[in-house]
């Protein structure tokens, strides 16, 4: 049997991942300590070292009385160059953007109804800077909004927001059909 270098590297990588998972599960180390990662990668376990980004939801503990991040007004500049397929993945992923829990999204009629429908967003002709600000920190427009503060809380990166915007601004088939019927 002939084993290639590529296969050997794959086995070694699998063994390292298994060893890391066993170490994390036993409590002897954390994912962030072992991998040296300071950012969460979707699809991987969330590093416990990053949990300080989010206040707890128990108002009887000191962490439940943390002040929210300051409101950040930002400006979008340049062209929209995001990947719409990745933007859809971010917007529909429960552990990433999770926009689908509150909004109907293009191609996803099962979305929530707490926020406005974004299914026809590409037909609204809204400025890119407006959309970027709404996603980054909605409190600039509505201090009492229930939407997560994605930018200041470092939930989404500027690149992530660009991908979500690309997804929202791409004309989707159902939007073109609805526009023709109107």
pLDDT by residue (tens digit) across 69-121? 899 999 998 899 999 999 999 999 988 889 999 999 999 988 999 999 999 99
**pLDDT tens-digit map of 161-173:** 999 999 999 987 5
* Report field, pTM of the whole predicted structure over 0.75: no
Helix ranges, the chain (H): 5-26, 31-35, 84-92, 128-136, 158-169, 173-181
Angle between helices 128-136 and 158-169 (to 10 degrees): 130
Give the CA-trace dihedral at 15, 19, 22, 24, to 10 degrees: -130
Per-residue pLDDT tens over the stretch 125-167 = 999 999 999 999 999 999 999 999 999 988 999 999 999 999 9
SS3 105: strand
Domain ranges of the chain: 5-53, 84-181
Tokens of 156: 């989404």
Give the separation between CA 170 and CA 105, rounded to whole angstroms.
12
Separation CA 10–CA 21 (nearest Å): 16
Please state which architecture CATH assigns to domain 84-181.
Orthogonal Bundle (1.10)
């Amino acid at each position: 049997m002939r084993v290639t270098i590529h296969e050997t590297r794959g086995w070694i990588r699998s063994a390292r991942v298994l060893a890391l998972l066993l170490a994390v599960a036993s409590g002897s180390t954390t994912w962030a300590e072992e991998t040296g990662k300071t950012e969460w990668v979707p699809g991987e376990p969330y590093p416990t070292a990053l949990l300080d980004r989010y206040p707890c939801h128990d108002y009887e503990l000191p962490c439940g009385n943390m002040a929210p991040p300051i409101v950040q007004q930002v400006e979008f500049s340049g062209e929209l160059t995001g990947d719409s397929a990745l933007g859809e993945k971010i917007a529909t992923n429960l552990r990433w953007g999770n926009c689908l829990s509150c909004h109907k999204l293009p191609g996803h009629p099962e979305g929530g109804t707490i926020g406005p429908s974004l299914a026809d967003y590409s037909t609204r002709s809204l400025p890119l800077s407006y959309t970027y600000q709404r996603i980054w920190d909605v409190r600039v427009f509505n201090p009492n909004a229930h939407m997560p503060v994605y930018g200041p809380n470092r939930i989404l990166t500027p690149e992530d927001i660009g991908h979500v915007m690309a997804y929202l601004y791409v004309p989707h088939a159902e939007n073109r059909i609805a526009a023709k019927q109107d």
